[in-house]
Amino acid sequence: MNFVRTAMLIAFMTALFMGVGLLIGGTNGMLIALVVAMGMNLFAYWNSDKMVLRMHHAHEVDERTAPEYYGMVAQLAENAGLPMPKVYVIDNPQPNAFATGRNPENAAVAATTGLLNSLSHEEVAAVMAHELAHVQNRDTLIMTITATLAGAISMLGNFAFFFGNNRNNPLGIIGVLAAMIVAPFAAMLVQMAISRTREYSADKRGAEICGNPLWLASALRKIAGGAKRVVNEDAERNPATAHMFIINPLNGQRMDGLFSTHPATENRIAALEQLHQQMGGSAPTQATMQSPRRGPWDSGPTSTSKGPWS
């Protein structure tokens, strides 16, 4: 159901983009808009992951530089039946994480030092399982396409006033105003709707990969609290990447409303608690919400106090 809904939203986004081209320049404008969209998406397909990682100053780690963190991701990827992604750390005090890459064979996951320092071993694993779920569901590609189209629609909207008042414009000044205001606004809403839809799916699959929905529920609660207290300066400078993170990294944007890139954390936690009971667990209590020290990805000794990044 989520896949069908996402496909319909992307189709609407594409039609909206072509419609803006039609409003600005008639049939020729629509064709030009289509060519521009294809070019932008082709560029984004090959380069978006590198661009996002660079924006957030992420650095790659391996089994030598971060053995426990890297090994955790490797075990979770094996649990999910995925190729091993590249693993990154972002030197940022806000607890958060994201995944990127055009497909599972060219994927990357990244966690902030704030996340690795403030969450337990199990909570970190649940977060990384969530990010691997995005990779498995190919959400990273979906979000790249929608973000690119939304940006292109906004760009065309900015040009509408200068190029839209011509004989090829079928609606005249009304078409210009629609291209300038309505279309970019609608594109933003569609992008946010897709983001919210994919987060619920990734929560569910991530809980299945790590084996315990309550670990992810506990992690979300901690990350949401940390995101409210700590400003992510890189995210504030690059707000178009906000939808990629497990929790909205932008300060002051926590509502589960029309303008939110993420569902309300409380709703996500409630869904995970319900999933826990469906998987045979008892109703969550304060005690059961405390993560145990070991999980199905770790057959070795209990993790040390240094954390899963070392």
Q: How far is 144 from 243, CA to CA, in rounded Å?
A: 10
Q: How far is 142 from 145, CA to CA, in rounded Å?
A: 5
The type of residue at 74 is A
Angle between helices 67-80 and 121-136 (to 10 degrees): 50
Per DSSP, what are the bridge partners of residue 109? 87, 99
Element (H, E) at 100: strand 97-101
Residues with Cβ < 8 Å from 37, sequence gap 6 or more?
14, 17, 18, 148, 149, 152
Q: How far is 115 from 41, CA to CA, in rounded Å?
A: 31
The pair of structure tokens assigned to 223 is: 């990350």
Element (H, E) at 132: helix 121-136
131 carries an active-site annotation:
yes
Radius of gyration of the chain (CA): 21
Residue with structure tokens 């969530």? 130
The type of residue at 79 is N
- Name the active-site residue from 68, 122, 123, 131: 131
Nearest Cα to Cα of residue 209 among 96, 309, 61, 109: 109
Q: How far is 71 from 66, CA to CA, in rounded Å?
A: 8
Catalytic residues: 131
